Amino acid sequence: MKESSEMSEISQESAGSSRFHMIDVGAKVPTRRRAVASGRIWVGEEAYSRIRSGKMPKGDLLALAEVAGVQAAKRASEFIPLCHPLGLDQVLVRFEFEPENFALRAICEAVATAKTGVEMEALAGAQAALLSVYDLTKGVNPALWISDLHLELKEGGKSGVWAHPGKETVCGPFTKEKKSDSAVNEWAGISASVITSSDRVSKGLAEDRSGPTAVRWLQDKGVSVSRSIVVADEIEGLANAILERTSGTARVDVLVISGGTGLGPRDVTPESLAHAAAQVGSRMPFRKIPGVGELLRSGGSRHTPTAWLSRSEGAFLGRTLVILLPGSPKAVVEGLEQLQKLIPHLLQMSRGGGHS
């Protein structure tokens, strides 16, 4: 009995002294998780030209590097000690050419229905793709440079949507010249305004958190935000505020309205937009974009099942893109992240410069 007791004490002491352990995710419910990571390899002018023309000594370099990225994402847990093994639903690896830097940018997107995130899988995929390019290019130029590996975006779980707050660095040994902000930022030159629709906030009974959140998100993209105001949940007042920002000298390219998209008796934001459109009639064309509302509800439902009940929508009133979002800061960020790639494209299309 004494020996058994001593062994028990030793076992407990050993277990308690362990400095490493995997996080227990057993109680969590599997949800759809997605992560996007990227990195860059600077290859120099000669190697860059040969890669683009498909004249590298070892064959189709990028195709093989993409396969290497997929393999690494699938096996991330084998070489990252405390990374959970995951059954991945999808892995996508692709490259973008950067002629101004003689560089290639590797992008890896990993998706899984799991109890924990897929950030490490995405990062492993991007890094392995870059290392494969390194291996297949070093015979042409041994002075290669890998940099900027980082997580760009993750979705799923209790944190919802997260995007990297920093800006990509553009530095390396083969850069011809730094890109100007207007060359790399498709948001440059876009103007916006934000309206918060809320009785409580307009009466000073609550703090406006969603409006400033939308302003910060837009400003981080380089958008010029003229002003942010709060309006009570009244159709006439909100419609007037909409018209002020969609016509005349105060017109903006994008108008974001937060709040009033639910089914409560005072949720009247969609009705206010329709009322504003009716007031101007044919003088300002009103075109709804059904896909925007569908995308917002579909994306929001991954984190909040009741998002399907939201009446979020997008429309053009005249030349202004109007986006209606729910009234929480979290929903505002998630909604704008869902539309991040679409907003500049929609504005370009409205000006006759793009194709659907």
Residues annotated catalytic, as ranges = 135
Using an 8 Å Cβ cutoff, are 310 and 323 in contact? Answer: no
Query: The tokens 């500049």 sit on which residue?
Result: 344
Axis-axis angle for helices 45-53, 119-137 (nearest 10): 100
Residue 94 bridge partners (DSSP) = 107
Rounded to an integer, what distance in angstroms lies between the CA atom of residue 235 and that of residue 267?
9
Place of tokens 């419609």: 239
Q: What's the CA gap between 154 and 72, in Å, rounded?
A: 18
Place of tokens 């639903």: 89
Structure token digits, residue 294: 């569908």
Contact yes or no for 110/153 (Cβ under 8 A): no
User: What Cα–Cα distance (Å) separates residue 340 from each residue in 66, 143, 165, 296, 343?
Assistant: 26, 36, 14, 12, 6
Give me the amino acid identity at 19. Answer: R
Please answer whether residues 83 and 76 qualify as being in contact, where contact means their C-beta atoms are separated by less than 8 angstroms. yes
